[in-house]
Amino acid sequence: MDQVRTTEEFGRAIRARRKELGYTQAFLADYAGVSASFLSELENGKETIQLGKAMTIMSLLGMNMAVMKRGE
């Protein structure tokens, strides 16, 4: 499992998975019910994104988020 420590790393993970699945930003944004600009900002690591929307995107991409203590 890859650890994500910054919003930039989170965005890169989202972008990589979207591209792996062959989705365009426009398609995924429409499917998730978010704006294309939101998805672009998410993928570019903007720190003020909305967590609920980000989690919706992750779910639609078949990704999970885990919260754990460091060192585990």
Provide the 10 A C-beta neighbour count for residue 61: 17
Give the whole-angstrom CA distance, residue 20 versus residue 62: 11
The model scores a pTM over 0.85 = no
Give the residue, 64 or 39, on which the prediction is more confident. Answer: 39
Give a yes or no: residue 67 inside a domain.
no
Where does the pLDDT of residue 1 fall: very low under 50, low under 70, confident under 90, or very high at 90 and above?
low
Give the whole-angstrom CA distance, residue 14 versus residue 71: 24
Give the whole-angstrom CA distance, residue 34 versus residue 54: 10
pLDDT of amino acid 72: 63
Give a yes or no: residue 16 inside a domain.
yes
Q: What is the pLDDT of residues 16-58, one digit of tens each?
A: 999 999 999 999 999 999 999 999 999 999 988 788 899 999 9
**Token pair of 53, please?**
């929307």
CATH number at residue 56: 1.10.260.40
In the chain, the number of structural domains is: 1
Are the C-beta atoms of 16 and 9 separated by less than 8 Å? no
